[in-house]
Amino acid sequence: MAHRQTPFPKVVVITGGTMGIGRATAIAFAQDGWSVAILARGETRLRSTEAELRTLGAQVLGISCDVTDADAVHAAASRIEAELGPIEAWVNNAMATVLSPAVSVTPADYRRVTEVTYLGQVFGTLAALKLMKTRDRGVIVQVSSGLAIRAAPLQSAYCGAKSAVGGFTDSLRAELIHDKSHVRLVTIYLPAVNTPQFRRARNYTGAGQNAPDPVFDPRACATAIVAAVASPQREIWVGRSTMQMAAIQAIAPGFGDKQAAKMWDAQLDHSISPASPGNLYDVDEDDPGVDGPFSARTKRPGREFVTSRSRNALAAALGVASLFGAAAALAPLAVAVGIGSLKKR
């Protein structure tokens, strides 16, 4: 009897994979049998994450890399392919933010947030695409935010950078369609998530940062990311609050502006001091893991997400229903117009 050869594990790359959503996603892929490569700045967290994933039986490679350095990202991608194998999925998760009124954010801080949160995704995408296009397969996941769709106060640098990711990704998607490429792009929009970043952001408000309800578990986001790679769809919205933000922005953006203005105070916790100067430029060398400070009011992890395929099916159903409704409403008018035209003949 011929021996059945075990296939090599598929390889996923996760930027910002040592904390919060990135760490939860790395664990989820390792549990699913993938080889996992992680790009992040902090050596201590890289080694700790590697050790944790190896206890799950995964092949792991952690590389110290700042995603704003395009050459370093491309070099990391080449090293990953040499040591782990062909990259099948790339998750652009690294981010940075500043909590502050827009006029108080320095030009240097705007530049840094944009470089990490926007250009980091661009450089990661291009590094993955260079390798994936030659094989004509692979999935690139852009981890975005509901704030890219419906921006909030005190988050101008982050909202602007995440919105830019959407424009870049939509343009690239059109190019891949033109080239008849089978490389897939997925954008995932996330709600407020209980991650350690809430105590690490640069903050000029004089108060600590709070996560407005509802707050979701990072593992719910990881579930959506793994599902996006398994069955790529154009967009995925995690959490009802993200879907509500998208709906308000599409239907009544002026009303959305007024509702967003109310989020100023909801984002502040005056009982604690702000993180200063935060991890915008310098990495913390501790290991906070997956969860942030809001576990007591975090929704349990589950499969609460909607894909663009589900949205399109709903829109089509509503469209058909509205057409039938409109036809029923217009039928008497059509008859009257028809009779009137006959009388004129």
Q: Where are the alpha helices (DSSP H) in 179-252?
A: 218-230, 240-251
- What's the pLDDT score for residue 146? 97
Write the pLDDT tens digit of every residue in 290-334. 999 999 999 776 666 677 555 554 444 445 444 555 555 555 544
Q: Residue 274, class by beta-carbon neighbours within 10 Å (0-12 exposed, 13-18 middle, 19+ buried)?
A: buried
C-beta neighbour count of 172 within 10 angstroms: 18
Q: What is the extent of the structural domain holding 178?
A: 11-303
Task: Report the relative pairing of strands 268-269 and 208-209 from DSSP bridges.
Answer: antiparallel
319 located within any domain = no
- What's the pLDDT score for residue 309? 56
CA 82, CA 79: separation in Å to the nearest integer?
Answer: 5
Which of 7-16, 177-186, 245-254 is predicted with the least confidence, judged by mean pLDDT? Answer: 7-16
- What's the pLDDT score for residue 303? 60
Length of the chain: 345
Task: Report the relative pairing of strands 235-238 and 184-190 from DSSP bridges.
Answer: parallel
Q: Per the structure block, which two tokens stand in for 9? A: 């594990």
Q: Residue 249, class by beta-carbon neighbours within 10 Å (0-12 exposed, 13-18 middle, 19+ buried)?
A: middle
- What's the pLDDT score for residue 344? 39
Residues classed as catalytic: 144, 158, 162
250 located within any domain = yes
Q: What is the distance, to the nearest Å, from the Cα of residue 11 to the centroid of all Cα atoms in its chain?
A: 19
Asked if residue 74 has pLDDT above 80, the reply is yes
Instruction: Indicate the DSSP class of residue 148.
Output: G
Please state, rounded to an integer, the average pLDDT across all residues of the chain. 89
- Check whether the bond before 277 is cis (ω within 30° of 0): yes
Rg of the chain on CA atoms, in Å: 23
Asked if residue 87 has pLDDT above 60, the reply is yes
Instruction: Tell me the one-letter amino acid at 76.
Output: A
- What's the pLDDT score for residue 277? 83
Q: Per the structure block, which two tokens stand in for 233? A: 């769809």
345 located within any domain = no
Coil, strand or helix at 36: strand
If one compares 308 and 84, the residue with the highest pLDDT of the two is 84
**Which is nearest to 37 in space by CA: 57, 56, 18?**
18
Residues 6+ apart with CB under 8 A from 15: 22, 38, 39, 40, 67, 91, 92, 93, 94, 120, 124
Element (H, E) at 177: helix 156-178
C-beta neighbour count of 84 within 10 angstroms: 21
Q: Per the structure block, which two tokens stand in for 228? A: 């996006």
- What's the pLDDT score for residue 21? 98
Q: Per the structure block, which two tokens stand in for 305? A: 């997400």
Per the structure, the count of domains in the chain is: 1
19 located within any domain = yes
Sign of CA dihedral 40, 44, 47, 48: negative
Coil, strand or helix at 284: coil
Question: ∠ CA(234), CA(238), CA(243), 5° rounding?
Answer: 85
2 located within any domain = no
92 located within any domain = yes
136 located within any domain = yes
Write the pLDDT tens digit of every residue in 9-65. 899 999 999 999 999 999 999 999 999 999 999 999 999 999 999 999 999 999 999
Dihedral-angle region of residue 291 (phi above 0 means left; psi in -120 to 50 means alpha; beta otherwise): beta
With cut-offs at 50, 70 and 90, classify the pLDDT of residue 275.
confident
CA 250, CA 234: separation in Å to the nearest integer?
Answer: 18
Instruction: Indicate the DSSP class of residue 234.
Output: S
Write the pLDDT tens digit of every residue in 119-140. 999 999 999 999 999 999 999 9
Q: What is the CATH number of the domain that holds 230?
A: 3.40.50.720
Output the pTM of the full model: 0.87
Q: Per the structure block, which two tokens stand in for 198? A: 């809430």
CA 193, CA 196: separation in Å to the nearest integer?
Answer: 9
Place of tokens 């903050």: 203
30 located within any domain = yes
